[in-house]
Amino acid sequence: MKFFIDTANLEQIKEAQDMGILDGVTTNPSLMAKEGITGTDNILKHYVDICQIVDGDVSAEVISTDFEGMVREGEALAELHDQIVIKLPMIKDGIKACKYFTDKGIKTNVTLVFSPGQALLAAKAGATYVSPFIGRLDDISTDGLNLISEIRHIYDNYGFETQILAASVRHTMHVIDCAKIGADVMTGPLSSIAGLLKHPLTDIGLEKFLADYKKGN
Ligand code: E4P
């Protein structure tokens, strides 16, 4: 299972990268705005800064909603760095643009996916990644993890190679449940990754081992 971090915060990206377990980064316009990164030039520079920190794929989202605009933006983003993955919205022109970039050998991430049918279309268009948003489904009393199971089932039926990128992960149990279901990738905040470290018995055990070592020295 790949671990992506869902942030535009360079410090948090560095922290996850330093742990040695980071496989990539996802961003979106809201995450950029949260870090105060505004204006096209600053946003493009920030993507390059992120690529210089991590070794893996970095999703960069287009803001156009028409095919021509997505192609124009996506091609400019792809030029920035070879780690850039073009993130496209799950709308008709987004699927068309996904097929266009797939045919050109450029990686894509179809985002804002909330149903199995949408995920099927993304796979048909050859998306590298499909991003079902589990936390946002949970927010409206719908089982986000069930969507991951349904997509896994459909993709396995036909051998689709599109990777299921469980997005809108909010906490450690989402990560563990996605791993059980077989999501290929998860993307979440640093806290959802760092939280996996924690167990009180680990802390108690370590404290005891260190205390016992001191007794003999
Ligand atoms: C995915 O790529 C999105 O950036 C993200 O996971 C959305 O998460 P949120 O629902 O916590 O905003």
pLDDT values of the chain reduced to their tens digit, one per residue, 217 residues: 999 999 999 999 999 999 999 999 999 999 999 999 999 999 999 999 999 999 999 999 999 999 999 999 999 999 999 999 999 999 999 999 999 999 999 999 999 999 999 999 999 999 999 999 999 999 999 999 999 999 999 999 999 999 999 999 999 999 999 999 999 999 999 999 999 999 999 999 999 999 999 997 7
Ligand 1 geometric centre to CA of 71 (Å)? 23
Q: If you measure from the C-alpha of residue 208 to the centroid of ligand 1, how many angstroms do you get, rounded to a whole number?
A: 40
Q: Which residue shows structure tokens 């009393």?
A: 141
The token duo for 179 is 């791993």
> In what helix (H) or strand (E) does residue 120 lie, and over which residues does it extend?
helix 116-124
Nearest-CA residue for atom 7 of ligand 1:
168
Structure-block tokens of residue 202: 């680990």
Residue 45 designated active-site: no
Going by C-alpha positions, the residue among 58, 48, 60 that lies closest to residue 22 is 58
**Residue 217, pLDDT score:** 78
Which residue, judged by its Cα, is nearest atom 9 of ligand 1?
168
Gyration radius from the chain CA atoms = 19
The H or E element containing residue 40 is helix 40-53
